[in-house]
Amino acid sequence: MTVRTRFAPSPTGYMHIGGMRTALFNWLWARHNGGQFILRIDDTDRERNVDEALGPILHAFRWLGLDWDEGPQVGGPLGPYFQSQRGDLYREALDQLLQSGKAYRDFDPPEVTQTDRAAAEQEKRPFLNIRRALELSDAEREQYLAEGRPHVVRFLIDRAAKVSIDDHIRGHVEWDCGLIADPVICRGDGSPLYNFATVVDDAQLQITHVIRAEEHLTNTAVQALLFDALGYSRPEFAHIPFVAAPGTKEKLSKREKKLDKYRKSPQFKKLFDIADEILPRMGLSPSESLNPVMVSYYEAVGFLPEAVLNGLSRLGWSLDDKTEHMSLPFVTENFTLDRVVKGPAGLDPDKLLAYQEHWVGQLSTDEKVDRCLPFLTKAGLVQEPIDAAAVRFVSRLVDAVGERLKLFSDILRYDEYFVADDALTYDEKAFEKRLRKPSEAATLLGEFREHFAAAERFDADTLDALLHEWVGQKDVPMGKIIHALRVATTGKAVGPGMFDCLALLGKDRCLMRIDRALERI
RNA sequence: GCCCCCAUCGUCUAGAGGCCCAGGACAUUGGAUUCUCAGUCCAAAGACAGGGGUUCAAAUCCCCUUGGGGGUACCA
């Protein structure tokens, strides 16, 4: 039997990182077994513009390289793949249940059910429906129906029974049906409820493995019963732990109140700060609309799909006691459900950043340049169309920056190489410390400038030799001149190797910058 | 209230009765390298929630307690 898994997002306009992890595990299981992965859209809420709200979700899948065999944009033999277009399927299943007496029309208005519920609560016993509709005579029922009395359809639970599943991750889980209220499967307006629709869909789409977050575990009792009642064979279940907020065991949430909390949490703050710093420079609004709960954040800020995938894979799953860095093909090859962890896994920004460092390190200069360029153009540091000289320059910069480049947006930290020489801004503290305060700084820098101006070649090695030679002659400690030189030419106290920086700028720009700094002292 | 799930270093995890006075990774701290920063290398510190059993032997099995989480909707 071919393994078929699915992920069923509602078109909310963004892809949740926790949802992405669930989707990934489904994809992984399907691919590991040479099966199919299906995308089904839960768009029962018709208020929204589905196309618009689905875009970012599909984009997130594409960005990470997770393809789907059936679903939106690719179709498939068992479609449609939008719940809003599957009404006939639900109606058919509903009729079947009604006809066989496994479901019933409940004419009690919501207030009555609510009162019943409150009474049960009051008496500290589990709520069970009173099933007044079952007492109705056929004639009464006909009459209610004829007069169009509003009603819902409830699934009739056999209170004497027990249900159990053998979950791939949780093991054997059993429920006493005597404690389960009859769930509404069809609303007053005729639309199906999740628990019902998902069963019909999973059966019709021939899903073999339902892999979803553990918050659905309780729902599974009703769903398993529904599969049985409809005569479908049950899929296998795997309830994976949910992704928790950094440093907590709580489900990662997108709710605004929570986001404010995350923003202040020591572990999560780092990611929010990156967004606040980077996004405005590229003309994007900061963390309000783009935050680390959403997959698009990671793309926007310059993460590598490989890093996010690696991080997501290790969130609730591990291969063994030491393998940390894993590519998608490698994880696919080795992914099994029995190695999924049971407890909730907190998203760890530091670890994600560490994965990013690893995967960026695997890239060639050209590949890094390709990824950095969009950031530079969006920030207006490189003009479009990008010419060959610009590419060459960025390439040299990327080489000089080396392992300092972690996120691709980090390239924006080196804007001093792109601004005009007379527009360079200085780190004032560094300027003070390295140029103004040391009494000999101006003199030394001035003298070195002349030596420098005479240089015939201007590559890093030559400059290195030049400075060392000069320092030796003058008997000046290296530290006296090199920091002054750095602040004068780059405006900053830190950066790549000094000689790489100088070579990158070239002689003319260096001289201009030194002169400007000298005047400014 | 009731039902269900979960519980190893700060974090992600290894561990399916002896290989564990618990291993790895990230983070942290110290040292080395260096013109700064980043990096790299070396080192340190750091956990089986508690209590009972079972067993020659328990992080691992059972029970209880505690803690956390989820569900209990005409949400998904």
Identify the pLDDT of residue A286: 63
The answer to whether some atom of strand B lies closer than 7 Å to the beta carbon of A42 is yes
Q: Could you tell me which residues come within 8 angstroms of residue A35 by beta carbon, excluding any fewer than 6 positions away?
A: A2, A3, A4, A5, A29, A208
Supply the pLDDT for residue A254. 85
Asked whether residue A194's C-beta has any atom of DNA/RNA strand B within 7 A, the reply is yes
Residue A244: which nucleotide is closest by CA–C1'? B69
Q: Straight-line distance from CA A154 to C1' B62, in Å?
A: 40
Contact predicate A58/A352, CB 8 Å: no
Predicted confidence band of residue A288 (pLDDT cuts 50, 70, 90): low
- Strand B close to A345 by CB, under 7 A: yes
Active-site pick, A102, A251, A254, A480? A254
The string of pLDDT tens digits covering residues A371-409 is: 999 999 999 999 999 999 999 999 999 999 999 999 999
Neighbours of A201 (CB within 10 A): 23
- Say yes or no: Cβ of A179 under 7 A from any atom of strand B: yes
Say which residues have a Cβ less than 8 Å from residue A467's Cβ, sequence separation at least 6. A448, A478, A481, A482, A499
Predicted confidence at residue A470, as pLDDT, reads 87
Q: If you average pLDDT over every residue of chain A, what do you get?
A: 92
Interatomic CA distance for residues A65 and A52, integer angstroms: 21
With pLDDT > 90 as the criterion, what percentage of chain A qualifies? 77
Nearest residue to B25 (CA, C1')?
Answer: A324
Residue A320: how many CB atoms within 10 A of its CB? 7
Of A185, A293, A313, the closest CA to residue A240 belongs to: A313
Q: Is the pLDDT of residue A134 over 80?
A: yes
Lowest mean pLDDT among A194-198, A207-211, A255-259, A444-448: A255-259
- Give CA separation, A338 vs A139, A260, A344, in Å: 55, 36, 16
pLDDT score at A43: 87
Mean pLDDT in residue range A133-150: 92
Instruction: Check residues 201 to 220 of chain A and report those whose beta carbon is under 7 Å from nucleic acid strand B.
Output: 214-219
Asked if A240 CB < 7 A from strand B, the reply is no
Strand B closer than 7 Å to the CB of A403?
yes
Give the closest residue to B38 (Cα–C1′): A404
Q: Please report the pLDDT score of residue A122 as a whole number.
A: 82
Asked if A456 CB < 7 A from strand B, the reply is no
Nearest nt to the CA of A152 via C1' is B74
What pLDDT is attached to residue A256?
A: 81
The whole-angstrom separation of Cα A118 and Cα A112 is 10
Cα-Cα-Cα-Cα torsion A413, A418, A423, A427, nearest 10 degrees, comes to 20
Task: Give the 3-state secondary structure of residue A109.
Answer: coil
pLDDT tens profile A39-62: 999 887 665 677 888 999 999 999
- The reply to whether A254 belongs to the active site is yes
Q: Output the distance from A341 CA to B63 C1' rounded to whole Å.
A: 24
Give the nearest nucleotide to A150, CA to C1': B74
Q: Report residues 90-129 of A contacting strand B, contact meaning Cβ closer than 7 Å.
A: 109-110, 113, 117, 121, 124-127
Q: Which nucleotides of B are covered by protein (CB under 7 A)?
A: 1-8, 10-15, 23-27, 35-40, 68-76
The whole-angstrom separation of Cα A176 and Cα A270 is: 46
pLDDT at A105: 95
Residue A4: what pLDDT? Answer: 98
| pLDDT higher than threshold 60 for residue A323 | yes
Q: Which of A371, A373, A348, A374 is nearest to A360 (CA)?
A: A371
C-alpha to C-alpha distance for A124 and A15, rounded to whole angstroms: 40
- Among left, alpha and beta (phi > 0; psi -120 to 50; other), residue A261 is alpha
Q: What is the pairing mode between strands A243-244 and A345-346?
A: parallel
pLDDT in tens, A426-473: 999 999 899 888 888 888 899 989 888 888 888 999 899 888 888 888
**What's the CA–C1' distance between A340 and B20, in Å?**
23
Residue A240 · residue A22 · CB < 8 Å: yes
Q: CA–C1' span, A486 to B64, in Å?
A: 67
Given a cut of 80, whether residue A414 has pLDDT beyond it is: yes
Q: How far apart are CA A148 and CA A89, in angstroms?
A: 23
Residues 6+ apart with CB under 8 A from A76: A38, A69, A70
Lowest mean pLDDT across A233-242, A423-432, A474-483: A474-483
Q: What is the mean pLDDT of residues A146-168?
A: 94
Instruction: Return the higher-pLDDT residue of A48 and A346.
Output: A346
A:137-176 Cβ neighbours of strand B under 7 Å: 150-152, 170-171, 173-176
Task: List the single protein residue with the shortest CA to C1' distance from B68.
Answer: A249
